Amino acid sequence: MSAISLESTVGSLVAERPSRARVLERWSIDYCCGGKKPLSVVCQEKGLDSDALVRDLLLNDAEAVSEEGWADYTMETLADHIVSTHHAYLREELPRLSRMAQRLVGAHASRHPELLEVQSVFEDLREELEMHMYKEEQILFPLCRALQLSDALPLSHCGSVNNPIRVMEHEHDSAGRALERLRTLTGGYTPPTDACNTYLVFLASLAEFEADMHLHIHKENNILFPKAIERERELAQRQ
């Protein structure tokens, strides 16, 4: 069992052992958009018991049997994995959640007016994510593959890979704020006492959507993007 340092960033902790994501989710810690923050800073900001959190993480490490080693994936494999897993999930789930939100607003907004903002926040997020996926699949991910497969810096209209990465990270931050707002508006995805089955399924699906987004962004911000930046640096040094 490896030691856990409070000075380690939360993103690096999950990159090292992906099952730690479940622990951080339970503690409501953002390891994707906030992945560059040291564990000590996160605990201080959120008023968390750092000793108890470390014990929880170590217990998870001891119980973990097998995990996907995303940090060991090549950029090409990781990009393909993100598209086939997380992008495919979003393309199916985003329209499904939109349809449910529309039904709920029609049936329950008079008693639960917060649903109007839930729908508005979600639709804005959906639009942003659909464009975000397009830019990743058409621009950034092909550049990551080219960096991996080339022995020289590939030509790109983007210039350095840092440029599209900065845009994607900015959009990840925006998505993180939207997810946080959805969680707040729904009381942590807690159904009201008069919730119908659609309402229950919608909130449970939103919770799953949030968890998948956190893991999705983590794989990009804390694993794929640093790999691309480091590979570009290596190729630049050869020239």
Report whether pLDDT(1) > 60.
no
Beta bridge mates, 113: none
Q: What is the pLDDT of residue 58?
A: 85
Mean pLDDT to the nearest integer, 209-224: 92
118 and 57 part of one domain: no
Domain count within the chain:
2
Task: Read off the pLDDT band of 64 (50, 70, 90).
Answer: low
pLDDT tens digits, one per residue of 6-32: 999 998 888 888 778 878 888 989 887
DSSP character string of 37-49: SBHHHHHHHHT--
Domain containing 133 equals 71-238
Mean pLDDT to the nearest integer, 204-230: 93
> Does 1 map to a domain?
no
Handedness of CA 217, 219, 222, 228 (dihedral sign): negative
What is this structure's pTM?
Answer: 0.76
133 and 58 part of one domain: no
CA angle 112, 116, 122 (to 5 degrees): 125
101 and 200 part of one domain: yes
Whole-number Å distance between alpha carbons of 106 and 193 = 18
Q: What is the pLDDT of residue 201?
A: 87
> Does 53 map to a domain?
yes
> 18, 37, 63 — which closes off a domain?
63
DSSP character string of 127-167: HHHHHHHHHIIIIIHHHHHHHHH-SSPPP-TT-STHHHHHH
Q: CA distances (Å), 144 to each of 35, 39, 92, 152, 223, in order?
A: 21, 29, 25, 13, 12
Please report where in the chains the tokens 């790999």 appear, as a residue. 227
CB contact at 8 A, 165 and 140 = yes
134 and 225 part of one domain: yes
Residue 175's contacts (CB-CB under 8 Å, 6 or more residues apart) are 33, 125, 128, 129, 132, 213, 217
58 and 82 part of one domain: no
> Does 3 map to a domain?
no
> Does 83 map to a domain?
yes
Beta bridge mates, 9: 38
Please name which of 228, 49, 70 lies closest in space to residue 136, comparing C-alpha atoms. 228
> Does 80 map to a domain?
yes
pLDDT tens digits, one per residue of 77-87: 999 999 999 99
Q: What is the pLDDT of residue 16?
A: 81
Task: Read off the pLDDT band of 3 (50, 70, 90).
Answer: confident
Task: Read off the pLDDT band of 221 (50, 70, 90).
Answer: very high
104 and 25 part of one domain: no
Mean pLDDT to the nearest integer, 140-165: 90
46 and 100 part of one domain: no
Please name which of 148, 93, 155, 159 lies closest in space to residue 126, comparing C-alpha atoms. 93
> 63, 80, 105 — which closes off a domain?
63
110 and 45 part of one domain: no
Report whether pLDDT(66) > 70.
no
Task: Read off the pLDDT band of 63 (50, 70, 90).
Answer: low
Mean pLDDT to the nearest integer, 146-170: 90
Report whether pLDDT(38) > 70.
yes
Residue 166's contacts (CB-CB under 8 Å, 6 or more residues apart) are none
51 and 116 part of one domain: no
What is the SS3 assignment for 70? helix
83 and 181 part of one domain: yes
Residue 225, number of CB atoms within 10 A of its CB: 22
Report whether pLDDT(67) > 60.
no
124 and 226 part of one domain: yes
Q: What is the pLDDT of residue 72?
A: 84
Handedness of CA 121, 122, 127, 131 (dihedral sign): positive
